[in-house]
Amino acid sequence: PFRFETGIALFAKRQPRPFPPPFLSPPSASFSDPLSTHHQSRDRRVFVNGQLIRGQTNGDDAVFASDYFICANDGVGAWATRPRGHAGLWSRLVLHFWANAIEEEITQFLAGHQIREPDPISSLQVAYEQTLEATESHDCLGTTTVCGAQLHYKISPDDVAQQNPSPLLYVTNIGDCKVLVVRPRNEQNKQVIYRTTEQWHWFDCPRQLGTNSPDTPRENGAMDKVDLEVGDIVLAMSDGVTDNLWEHEIVSTVLQGLQKWESTQDGEVYKGRNRGRHEGMSVAAKELVDAATKIAKDPFAESPFMEHAIEEGLASEGGKLDDISVVAALCVKN
């Protein structure tokens, strides 16, 4: 009965390390190789188990958006210094297998025509195990933090006819990526109705899934259910956003961006651009990435990361240059 309208915006601090074979076919290596761009050796798409890998890569981050699920994973950049380190591959594969598991769950639900409560932690555990299986045989090292939001619905026990469902969000988090739920209609300072809690081993070392990490979805995954309303905005963000912008700046940037996009120079509302509908989420995501990127590149800016570092007794100044990824989703009636 409900779905997401989504938008994605990205900024990468550096080009990602290319995925290794067999996930990406290597380019032609000699004159004896076929030169046709249609030949497999020239194929730049990425595959796992014969499937195109879902989502998008942004530096070491990976993002995904569909009608019922959004996700932002942050591969740990320190693996870039290791010869077999592929954090970007890890973040993308976990996302791919997680989206597959959730889609399979939705397909079974639709086929059965019965309400079955989603279990995103179990889906993520399956994705984690499949990623381990896919990477260990090829010695691909890496870790990633994870956050995702799955849209479902609930029906009140008093609704005997089951005609009045309400949207329900299942939010899953491991590490320091962030999911925020914003209700634009609420009065100022009460617009954030939900936020994930960051998980840390110690400062600048979040909980993460992957090589040599003790963390697993089943043991360390945090899952919350959030009652939504039509018109609520769900943001899934990598820490490149939250390390450079405070929460109130995130909310004001998104809402001001939407207001600017919806209104003409005369103050009239564009037809069809009501409450973020029809590409409004793409605008909101881009405004947020632009704002975070500006701080990240400013060596004299004040930032949340700088404050946290100083609290830990570390010298820090300015923003934190990092991969910045945002998926924005608007809850609408289907």
pTM exceeds cut of 0.85: yes
Alpha-carbon distance 193 to 331, whole Å? Answer: 14
Which value, to the nearest 10 degrees, does the dihedral of the CA atoms of residues 185, 69, 52, 60 take?
A: 70
Separation CA 319–CA 306 (nearest Å):
7
Query: Strands, DSSP E only, in the chain?
Result: 2-11, 47-48, 51-52, 56-58, 61-65, 69-75, 143-154, 166-174, 178-182, 192-195, 200-202, 205-206, 209-210, 222-227, 233-237, 324-333
The number of beta carbons lying within 10 Å of the beta carbon of residue 107 is: 10
154 neighbors 117 (Cβ within 8 angstroms): no
Q: What is the pLDDT of residue 65?
A: 98
Give me the residues paired with residue 152 across strands: 168
Residue type, 151: L
pLDDT in tens, the chain (334 residues): 899 999 999 999 998 888 988 888 655 555 555 555 444 545 568 889 889 999 999 999 999 999 999 999 999 999 998 989 999 999 999 999 999 999 998 888 777 755 578 999 999 999 999 999 999 999 999 999 999 999 999 988 887 777 889 999 999 999 999 999 999 998 888 899 999 999 999 999 999 999 999 999 999 999 999 999 999 999 999 999 999 999 999 999 999 999 888 875 555 656 666 667 778 999 999 999 999 999 999 999 999 999 999 999 998 999 999 999 999 999 999 8
